[in-house]
Structure 1
Amino acid sequence: MKFKTSLIALSIAAAITPSLVTAEESDIEVITVTSSRMDKPVSAIPNTVTIIDREQLEQQFRTTKDLSTIIGNLAPSFSPSRQKMSNTGETLRGRPPLIMIDGVPQSNPLRSGGRSGQTIDPAMIERIEIIHGANAMHGLGAQGGIINYITKKATGDNEHQVSFDVTMPNNLESDGISFGTSYSFSGESDQLDMIGSVSYRNNGVYYDANDQMIGVDTTQGESMDSQSADFFIKLGHNFDESRLELMVNHYNMENNGDYMAVTGDKENDIPTGAIKQEQPWEAANNQVTTTSLTYTHEDIAGQQLHLQFFNQNFEAVYGGGCWSDFYDPSMEGNDQVTVCGTGDNGESLYYEQSRNKSVKWGMKASMIANNIAESGINLAYGIDMFRDTTEQDMVVSGASWVPESTYENIAPFAQLDYDLIENLTLSGGVRYEYAKLKVNDYKTMYGYGDKEIQGGSPDFNETLFNIGASYQINPSIRLYTSFNQGFGMPDIGRVLRDGDSFPDENPSIDDSLALTPIVTDNIEFGADYQGEYFTAKIAFYRSSTDYGSRMVEKEDGSGSFVVKREKSVIDGLESNITAYIGDYDDVGVNIAIQNGEYDSNDDQSVDTDLDGANISPNRINLFWTHNFDNDISTRVQANFFMDKNFKDASDEVYSSFDGYTTVDASVAIPVYSGTLSVGIQNLLNEDYYTYYSQTVGKDTRYFKGMGRTATIGFTMPF
């Protein structure tokens, strides 16, 4: 089948949305997006949507278990993975996404900390729903979009499954071997259905393409030389027209603390390294428990009810260091501390590290009325309530770095869909956000100004709108457009903990403009073609905010960051073509191109490129899958990251990215009643520095990317 040249040119001039549907049109409508709050089919949503189903996940698991890498492989407007415990700088369309598990927020709005990407083992996930671009469907935090991990459901059959995998580096060094295992069960009785799973993973150290050990990030967190475990259970009971379901997931990831960093030299192209040496502090770790209780009813006065209560307990310990910022005169001579050096003024410095603790509670209630009075109008309405209490303290001294802060939010909403004429669906919605931040009187740490700050309870309110249209020109071609607003907050913890955020003589929480919410506008135009032999998708978008939030390193050389509030605009293209060649082959290309700028001089005009902590590189992903008659399947995929220069207001290059290409290949083979898989990541052993390291990293975080690795896995149901 030959493609039309114009369509290929249009798509290759654009950027992504991976394959969402099969070639059969009858399959399109059955794929519903639960994250839309109306359980809409993909074809009815006037936004770019990516569905990563279980089959695609299994293909990716053959080469990697890193969720950030997997999402980037299939939705390239998501930033390249940092290959670390931290996901700071991993954005969607250049802005932070709201990450959820079954609709439960995992992102930490009060103090980000960059750990929201490490809260669940991939083995627990059935599919991933990604809604691209700012929206207010689930409230706080969705400035770049929504990434919702949908966990597995009971199959109805009594079934067990075990899986094992081993990953080896190219040099076959024993300390670089990683392995993992998981066990799951599913079944039901007359009264109860259930599914449960446990997993364990042990990561060795990582090696680059030159067989050199990759440097460790002992502060923000390191995934190499680590262990993780996950416990997941979901219980459900079906009534005549309703269902009650409980989900609990507990995830724990701990670095072993056996390696220390060797500082690199970015200017002279010397990467940050690692040496085997026990860390003199508690190694970085993540502990997260997510709980959700959901009740649904199919017919309450002709409407559907969806009610969810949720809780998340999050604790992240960051690695330590010997920093003057954490010096406190009251700790001089204290037996509790370990002296590690001397400051500029002769003071004794000691090892210190921080811990981020967050507890979230929430409720989401919605009613859905379909085809009201045979009018073609569908209505969803409801209310969300959310409470987050967060504190960041010091592990050794017990001092409070970020005071205990409580964020309370209540948001009623309504969403309307109307089939105005045949094949034309209009949608619109409104959401009212009322939020209050509560902080008691506190004092910043000695190294952060030693300032007395008066607490307060500032409140905020915003009315957010969305409107869209979807027109089905014929059974194969759809056009859509939309305007959506997203609601977010700056990293409140960074604002509160830094005395420089409060320059007034009598500083007060209530007087700080830096705590003002972020409202992001997203405008999008898109087109889909879905035919018998291929599908094609293209979307153009603009994301803008008049008062955004950007992290900027202080000029004092301390390595600390402050929050800058300024206007920013991001433009981008996403495109995808998938061709179905015969009955056995799928070939596709996904493209993402984006550019972003911010206002550097507060004149309300953007003039400076956003850096790599915000904007993803321009990227092309290619893939080819082949299925044999004997159920053997293969996949080859390539990621092309394009060179990029970042310019300031004077049109001078202040940072640059040297692009690279990685290729992965894998095969799955039926063996007895199970599946044996073999995958090779970075097949050509490309030597490269990660995107974050090149664009944002310093000498202490100038990391190479992983070299060639081979993974062998086996899964067996019984």
Structure 2
Amino acid sequence: MFNQLQRLLVTTGTLSAATILAMATRADAKDAVAPRITTTVTDWVTQIEAAIVQIIDVQIAETEAGLQVVLETTDGRLATPVTTTSGDAVILEIPNTRLSLSVGETFEQFAPAEGIALVSVTNLPDNRVQISITGTDAPPQAEVSADAGSLFLSVVPGIETATDLGDETIEDEAIRLVVTATRTEEDILDVPRSVTVITREEIEQQSRVTPNFYDTLGTLVPGLGPPNQADRSNAQTLRGRGTLFLIDGVPVESNLLGGNGLRGLDPAIIERVEVVRGPTGLYGSGATGGVINIITRRPEEASTAWAEFGISADLGALEDDSFAYDLGFGGSGTEGRLDYVLNFSAQFTDQFYDAEGDVIPQSFPTLAESTILSGFGRLGFDLTDEQRIQLSVNHIRDRQDVDNLADPIVRDIPGRQKARAVEFALDFDDVEEPGSTSTNVDLTYSHDNVGGSRLQAQAYYYDIGVRDLPFDGRNGIFLDVISYGEFESEAYGGRLQIETPITQLLELLWGADYRNERNQRILDILDPDAFDAGVARSIDQRTQNPPYVIDQLGLFAQLQWELSPSFTLSGGIRQEFVELSVDDYTTIFGDDVEGGEVDFDATVFNIGAVYRATDNLSLFTSFSQGFSAPGFATVLGSPPPIFSIDEGFEELEPQTVDNYEIGVRGQWGNVQASLAGFYAYSDLGSFVREIPGSSRVRVGRAPQRNYGVEATLDWQPAEQWRLGGTFTWNEGESDFNDDGEFLALGTFSVQPWKLTAYVENQTTPTWNNRLQLLYSGNRDRAFDDGIETVPMEEYITFDLISQLQLGEGTLSLAVENLLDTQYFPVFAQVLSGFNDANYRAARGRRISLTYSISF
């Protein structure tokens, strides 16, 4: 451990020195044209900081009319704030300014005066400071004046009008911490569930280490499996069960593919990510482990553009084929009642190397040799002050070249063997290259006052196709052929929800959801002679997963009752109707299956309570039920003997999960913390189970229970320092044989315990450094119970992120796997139980350099 720490300090010091050297080089270049000669790095940093006005103190005093906010500066040269209104808040944004308080980087004061709920002052990217003043009933009025090195805001509380009812929108996210993943906006302290909110700044920061969205979630979200360095979220469950992915409240996953297709999601289009941990039925089928709601970027009041360029490479030998590049540009703005957001990005990757200097083989979930192109657009129009319509389109195209494959020889070597890459350039003749293409379109209409209620209606379309790398199943491994398949999923649907205030303290949310989804998987059988010669050419097609259609209709109602200022009760019900339709088909193994239709429904409930012990501390408890149809593709593709759609109801029957949770969370100035425990049980679980002696899996259906503990802590002990972390421990068992004996679930379902930690230092007002670690523990329960063929081994990784304000933009230096540790991600360890050719090592030490700018 001492040697690791010593290496960490030496490496960190070296990288910091390299950053300073780059800064000095930049300074020397500026000296060539600057009238004043800068002779040291310190002088250069001082020049940059001198151009930024520092706010050193924030004071609030109550007045007869409302309150006064005073911002004290170093020299009083604050620019005139840009003022906007959003919901019940007035927002003032000051450019070329930074908040530099003696304690913390954020100022907050709750209920400083009657009619004022919150005053907050925070730093924004690109040297901007935002002041948000939220009214209790309506947006306050703020008058700005300046005198003797200070900026004064005279604030008068707003007066509620009839049109203010239901006026809170998703744009309130920048004002106070709310959770739209529960389908209504709420203060996070009033939600009777475990909740994680990831801001745009956090997402952008983590994307400097890796742009893979799944890895960002695995690093930041407690309860979620650790990063798996793959193009999908396999072996990355939430509390040991399935996760429902949403974009702006619309499901972006399928029964066949889950939440695949998001690894190329550009962080620049994300405003925030909200995660509700634990089963919920609010969005229908799929959220037995929780909901991850990706909220896309909101338009700016003034026209704004942004751009970034990044380059990364493995540090082992800086091999030419380890370089990767990413670039992106976009813009947003508002013109009268019209607003827009546009963004385009591209990622180009080559090979990746492990810590031992070996190429990581290109097996199906890797990210190597990829070209990812993505585009996002949103156009919104305010029909009236109360009505709005907007159209959003997001498209991601990912294609992968093949220069190597996993060497099959490792299958025949005794003992656990690391996957090896063997050079093998493969051209694709009459079939498309590996990769994925996804498109989602969302049309939203909202009306803030329909007889005193707020209405929101959405219509959407979602389409995704995924092609994995060819699989050489010769020698009897899989069908004795070379297979190359495409997953196809298409869905359309609509959502309607209405928020109706019954009394001032009682509010009802009600509505309906509809979704029609079609899935199938077709396998191309490749010509073996052409394949050995480096050409993928189809000679036959077989149906691995027959076309099947799922129709879903859900009706829901949710009630929230504020019994007192400190006690809130909420509860709801959802009725779900599902129909599965499958035609007669023959499995890929030659078994004939009679098709048909199966109808089933489920009724799920939830109830929760929150007690505000103080303004900063809340206690919560809840009972919630989640509902999920099993992975029909696995059931239909590998059915049990003598199976038909009409008679195989137990294999097809959905699961209902009962979840019990208790927790506490608090936000005290410079400390934020949470602790929660949960227990979830289902009479008929749904989990992936290995078929011994084969490379196949099947869906297990038996009683299932999951339980665990999650904790978070963030602390800002001084103005320049931030530190914290998360802790996740969960376990799960199933009564596989229905004999009362519960055995451990496999690691596909339950990942090892996880610990994350970080320390962040604002070294100067323009230079920030963050060191973070992730520890994934051992897990051998499933191995000991005979459920898995290999135990899961522990590993620990460190990452460094250094960000420097340069001019109008930010230069970021990130080092992934700082200590160059050789380890194997959890997903690779799980797959090695089937085949050592899947036992891929993780990436070694890798450096990334990114410059981003907004203007």
Same fold? TM cut 0.5: yes
Partner Cα distance (2:591, 2:751) in 1: 38
- Does residue 518 of structure 1 match 2:661? no
Partner Cα distance (1:276, 1:188) in 2: 52
1:65-115: CA deviation from partner (whole Å, max 9, x where unpaired): 111221122113211222122322111111120112112212211x23772
Q: Do 1:35 and 1:103's aligned partners in 2 also have CA atoms closer than 8 Å? A: yes
Matches within 5 A, 1:613-624: 613-624=748-759
Q: What SS is found at the alignment partner of 1:76?
A: coil
Counterpart in 2 of 1:229?
373
Counterpart in 2 of 1:543?
680
Matches within 5 A, 1:473-484: 473-484=613-624
Q: What SS is found at the alignment partner of 2:758?
A: strand
Counterpart in 2 of 1:637?
772
How far off its partner does 1:186 sit?
Answer: 0.9
Matches within 5 A, 1:104-503: 104-109=250-255, 111-112=256-257, 115-118=260-263, 120-171=265-316, 172-217=318-363, 220-238=364-382, 239-263=384-408, 264=410, 268-279=415-426, 282-323=432-473, 350-370=481-501, 372-374=502-504, 376-395=505-524, 396=538, 397-445=540-588, 448=589, 450-498=590-638, 500-503=639-642
Q: What SS is found at the alignment partner of 1:147?
A: strand
Q: Do 2:305 and 2:329's aligned partners in 1 also have CA atoms closer than 8 Å? A: yes
Q: What SS is found at the alignment partner of 1:501?
A: coil
Q: Do 2:323 and 2:350's aligned partners in 1 also have CA atoms closer than 8 Å? A: yes
Q: Do 1:130 and 1:146's aligned partners in 2 also have CA atoms closer than 8 Å? A: yes
Q: Do 1:113 and 1:356's aligned partners in 2 also have CA atoms closer than 8 Å? A: no
Partner Cα distance (1:261, 1:227) in 2: 21
Higher relative contact order (CA 8 A, sep 6+): 1
Partner Cα distance (1:267, 1:246) in 2: 57
Partner Cα distance (1:67, 1:665) in 2: 18
Q: Do 1:502 and 1:508's aligned partners in 2 also have CA atoms closer than 8 Å? A: no
Counterpart in 1 of 2:705?
569
How far off its partner does 1:280 sit?
Answer: 6.1
Amino acid at match of 1:670: Q
Would the alpha carbon gap of residues 269 and 135 (structure 1) be closer, same or farther in structure 2, given more than 3 Å must change? same
Matches within 5 A, 1:53-68: 53-68=199-214
Q: What SS is found at the alignment partner of 2:686?
A: strand
1:417-462: CA deviation from partner (whole Å, max 9, x where unpaired): 11123311000000000110111222223xx2x2332221110111
How far off its partner does 1:508 sit?
Answer: 4.0
How far off its partner does 1:626 sit?
Answer: 2.0
How far off its partner does 1:590 sit?
Answer: 1.1
Partner Cα distance (2:359, 2:479) in 1: 33
1:284-323: CA deviation from partner (whole Å, max 9, x where unpaired): 2110001100111110000100111111011111222333
Matches within 5 A, 1:690-709: 690-697=825-832, 698-709=835-846
Would the alpha carbon gap of residues 648 and 317 (structure 1) be closer, same or farther in structure 2, given more than 3 Å must change? closer
Amino acid at match of 1:457: E
How far off its partner does 1:343 sit?
Answer: 6.5
- Does residue 579 of structure 1 match 2:715? yes
Q: What SS is found at the alignment partner of 1:458?
A: strand
Would the alpha carbon gap of residues 616 and 503 (structure 1) be closer, same or farther in structure 2, given more than 3 Å must change? same
Q: Do 2:777 and 2:793's aligned partners in 1 also have CA atoms closer than 8 Å? A: yes
Q: What SS is found at the alignment partner of 1:94?
A: coil
Q: Do 1:23 and 1:530's aligned partners in 2 also have CA atoms closer than 8 Å? A: no
Counterpart in 1 of 2:243?
97
Would the alpha carbon gap of residues 414 and 267 (structure 1) be closer, same or farther in structure 2, given more than 3 Å must change? farther
Q: Do 2:374 and 2:397's aligned partners in 1 also have CA atoms closer than 8 Å? A: yes
- Does residue 33 of structure 1 match 2:179? yes
Q: Which stretch shows the higher mean deviation, 236-245 or 254-263? A: 254-263
Partner Cα distance (2:723, 2:471) in 1: 48
Consecutive unaligned residues in structure 1, runs of 5 or more: 1-18, 324-340
Partner Cα distance (2:596, 2:107) in 1: 54
Q: Do 2:626 and 2:658's aligned partners in 1 also have CA atoms closer than 8 Å? A: yes
Q: CA RMSD in A?
A: 2.3
Partner Cα distance (1:549, 1:348) in 2: 26
Q: What SS is found at the alignment partner of 2:781?
A: strand
How far off its partner does 1:607 sit?
Answer: 2.0
How far off its partner does 1:268 sit?
Answer: 3.1
1:603-634: CA deviation from partner (whole Å, max 9, x where unpaired): 2x352111221112112111112224532222
Aligned length: 667
Q: Do 1:120 and 1:249's aligned partners in 2 also have CA atoms closer than 8 Å? A: no
Q: Percent identity?
A: 26
Q: Do 1:597 and 1:606's aligned partners in 2 also have CA atoms closer than 8 Å? A: no
Counterpart in 2 of 1:4?
none
How far off its partner does 1:595 sit?
Answer: 1.3
Q: Do 1:680 and 1:711's aligned partners in 2 also have CA atoms closer than 8 Å? A: yes
Partner Cα distance (2:514, 2:684) in 1: 25
How far off its partner does 1:696 sit?
Answer: 4.2
1:16-64: CA deviation from partner (whole Å, max 9, x where unpaired): xxx9x98765469822212211122211110011010011112212211
Amino acid at match of 1:315: G
Amino acid at match of 2:423: K
Would the alpha carbon gap of residues 368 and 440 (structure 1) be closer, same or farther in structure 2, given more than 3 Å must change? same
Partner Cα distance (2:279, 2:414) in 1: 37
Partner Cα distance (2:514, 2:637) in 1: 27
1:197-242: CA deviation from partner (whole Å, max 9, x where unpaired): 110001121111111111221xx34311111010110000012211
Q: Do 2:567 and 2:610's aligned partners in 1 also have CA atoms closer than 8 Å? A: yes
Partner Cα distance (1:461, 1:276) in 2: 51
- Does residue 588 of structure 1 match 2:724? yes
TM-score normalised by L of structure 1:
0.89
Partner Cα distance (2:622, 2:499) in 1: 21
Q: What SS is found at the alignment partner of 1:581?
A: strand
Q: Which stretch shows the higher mean deviation, 116-125 or 203-212? A: 116-125
Partner Cα distance (2:710, 2:258) in 1: 29
Q: Do 1:453 and 1:509's aligned partners in 2 also have CA atoms closer than 8 Å? A: no
1:226-270: CA deviation from partner (whole Å, max 9, x where unpaired): 110101100000122111111000001111122211244696343
1:360-411: CA deviation from partner (whole Å, max 9, x where unpaired): 11111010023x233x111100001111011111233333222211100111
How far off its partner does 1:684 sit?
Answer: 1.0
Q: Do 1:464 and 1:485's aligned partners in 2 also have CA atoms closer than 8 Å? A: yes
TM-score normalised by L of structure 2:
0.75
Counterpart in 2 of 1:16?
none
Partner Cα distance (1:652, 1:193) in 2: 54
How far off its partner does 1:502 sit?
Answer: 4.5
Consecutive unaligned residues in structure 2, runs of 5 or more: 1-103, 111-117, 121-172, 525-537
Q: What SS is found at the alignment partner of 1:692?
A: helix
Q: Which stretch shows the higher mean deviation, 79-88 or 584-593? A: 79-88
Would the alpha carbon gap of residues 658 and 208 (structure 1) be closer, same or farther in structure 2, given more than 3 Å must change? same
Q: Do 1:208 and 1:707's aligned partners in 2 also have CA atoms closer than 8 Å? A: yes
